[in-house]
């Protein structure tokens, strides 16, 4: 496999991780998720953040110097030091209603609830998370938002592709394959 390092980003629930796994499988390369580096392992998860230098050190130890990988998740607020490693960045955009429905299902599964007649208990921390996720499209530069992602994407020197996360994953994989061929050839020529 030629060198091709792909980073996917977008709002929570947009399908970034799903597409990341699908691309890693398609290209037979490793998949990594920023959450695995951002958060310390806790039970329940997502309680304590790692310090930025520790995140970056772990990423270097695990995969950054390898020639091909997929990295899913947001890092625009802390990953500037590794942005030059990307050959292709994909912004996955998905409607807020679709994202929130996906997140509700994911949170229900995460907390062991099964869907009964379309309703399940909602924990206070889940409600707070869903409110935060719903503000992505209208948020400013001080939080994870579409605006902050767009500003960060404009600063990158690699190829950037925006895809509709509401489309079927197989269709998005084909779109990325076509775009990737061109993006990775361009990077290799430089």
User: Does residue 36 sit within a domain?
Assistant: yes
User: Does residue 112 sit within a domain?
Assistant: no
User: Does residue 109 sit within a domain?
Assistant: no
**Which residue, 6, 143, 27, 26, is CA-closest to 73?**
6
User: Does residue 58 sit within a domain?
Assistant: yes
User: Does residue 111 sit within a domain?
Assistant: no
User: Does residue 171 sit within a domain?
Assistant: yes
CATH at 75: 3.40.50.300
Range of the domain at 184: 4-95+144-189
User: Does residue 161 sit within a domain?
Assistant: yes
Q: How many domains does the chain have?
A: 1
Q: Are 74 and 27 in contact (CB under 8 A)?
A: no
CB neighbours (10 Å) of residue 10? Answer: 26
pTM to 2 decimal places: 0.88
User: Does residue 104 sit within a domain?
Assistant: no
pLDDT in tens, the chain (190 residues): 478 899 999 999 999 999 999 999 999 999 999 999 999 998 878 889 999 999 999 999 999 999 999 999 999 999 999 999 999 999 999 999 999 999 988 887 776 665 544 555 566 778 888 899 999 999 999 999 999 999 999 999 999 999 999 999 999 999 999 997 776 565 555 5
């Amino acid at each position: 496999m030629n060198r091709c390092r792909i980073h996917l980003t977008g709002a929570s629930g947009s399908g970034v991780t799903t597409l990341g796994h699908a691309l890693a499988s398609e290209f037979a390369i490793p998949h990594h998720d920023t959450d695995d580096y951002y958060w310390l392992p806790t039970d329940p998860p997502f309680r304590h953040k790692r310090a930025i230098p520790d995140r970056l050190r772990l990423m270097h130890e695990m995969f950054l110097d390898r020639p091909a990988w997929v990295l899913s998740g947001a890092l625009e607020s802390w990953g500037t030091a590794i942005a030059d490693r990307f050959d292709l960045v994909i912004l996955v955009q998905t409607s807020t209603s679709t994202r929130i429905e996906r997140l509700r299902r994911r949170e229900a599964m995460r907390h062991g609830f099964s869907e009964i007649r379309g309703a399940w208990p909602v924990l206070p921390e889940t409600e707070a998370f869903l409110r935060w996720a719903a503000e992505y499209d209208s948020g400013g530069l001080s939080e994870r938002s579409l605006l902050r992602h767009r500003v960060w994407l404009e600063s990158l020197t690699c190829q950037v592709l925006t895809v509709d996360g509401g489309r079927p994953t197989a269709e998005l994989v084909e779109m990325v394959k076509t775009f990737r061929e061109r993006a990775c050839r361009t990077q290799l020529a430089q």
